[in-house]
Structure 1
């Protein structure tokens, strides 16, 4: 491969303060990229993206509002970024060779080809492991790592603990429940359809689950599924569910807060407030938000543990694969509907 290549990439054309971004906000543009190794700076790589991760947090980068969200906003007309699996096409860094596969866990441009600095937290993918490449964006990527940090590090599960996971069929929730089960816990999940309820019970080993769209009285639902209270709540949704949980927590309960997807489409003044936080005082509850960047020193421990679980058949994952860079808009929107199962990934190149 030599000369130049036409590469399509997604740009943020306008901010979307509310709702789900549309084609009014995100534009697919074509740029010409030189493949001449002398055209890139030292310690940079030209890569061809193979898989791109699609995650709910990406929507929070497009509101244009600095209102307490945990990542800075994308600037208008900049390329949108996401975790990626890519093949090195050209290298100006002796640590990487042409043909290497790399995981860019946080900031790869959503593009067919791009130039990236090798100083990023890149990780070479070990093809000898014979694990599917997609798993490095799922069970062995940020979703699996988020579940592991929330359950293993912050949740501190004990055999017999009562664990509740919201968005339990999503990219993070499916692993949080399985990890809690492996620690000997009783695990209940909530999700948005009866089909997903069946999925997490039959494929991910949840002890039970409920559809929050039909169990509309969340307090009653939690009373039914947790007659002995909740010891660990892995929060992916926030809002009304988080408030209901605070009425059912046991003394010294832990609430790792991974995300609040129910609130991402709203400006901050319209987000659901939690009115019963006083329960945290009386029951000495620890509720803690977390970011992966603060726990990267544990990534090696996580990867070793999860890879062994995968090879032993103790953890499974479900992927929703979209095809082609043009599918980003559709795939992002799917995260905010009940149609989405498991981890959403775009296959850019076969």
Structure 2
């Protein structure tokens, strides 16, 4: 590039970036870190769509006065103290490293919708590294406005701030991709084979949302139901062997039913004393799986008379999961690579 003037800004070789995105995590489990994280999360209109004039005073003066303490205690119980971070952060880093090894032809990094590293900071870093094309990959198998859509919102907002905006693509939901279904079925099959006492039923527990969102057109509920069906078909099981339920209910309005915490207790009362639970809506173990499922939901089952409760971990950095994600990413990069 001898024709470039000496005072010209440096020109980097063009690169393709793949930016993974997950929900997020607080930087610590103390009150102020939890408050900052929860404030950002619960202020997202995709998550809580109440009018701001009504919601923000309640959030800032009542909810965030107490909830950071209880949420912080829950995070402390699962915290990766050796690395000083949440399990979601540790696992996402491991997934990113594994995918970078699978996809050496592109730059792979990750961001969080809430907390750090922020979407904007990672888009900026990719652009500065020379990425003129970026594929954004929300790590949510099923689309929902409160997950996939809000992650895309943050990505597009970050791109608009770039002086030299890259060409961009967003990866779609992937719950019915054969490689993902196969990886999910493999994880269940391996767990089942390792159990001395075989469960009477498998509960597929998905993160919940207000029923009102379904009635307004959010397809998440239908995608979850189909995920369960595809998993059952891949395992070759009868319909009554897998149940679909929803967890993490928040607020006074009705959410998608049945609620997992109530459903597992009812199973125990019906004589289903041995159950397993899997969380197909989560790509990595987090507070909702490690603390809520393995804590609150387990306790509800045992208090109702249940005997054996087995939580089957998320796909995390399982080799079949990484290969499935790599295949999905390569398909979305067609025409660029």
With the shorter chain as reference, the TM-score category is 0.3 to 0.5
Structure 2 length as normaliser, TM-score?
0.34
Return the structure number with greater helix share: 2
Judging by fraction of residues, say which structure has more strand.
1
Structure showing greater relative contact order (alpha-carbon pairs closer than 8 Å, 6 or more residues apart): 2
TM value normalised by structure 1: 0.33
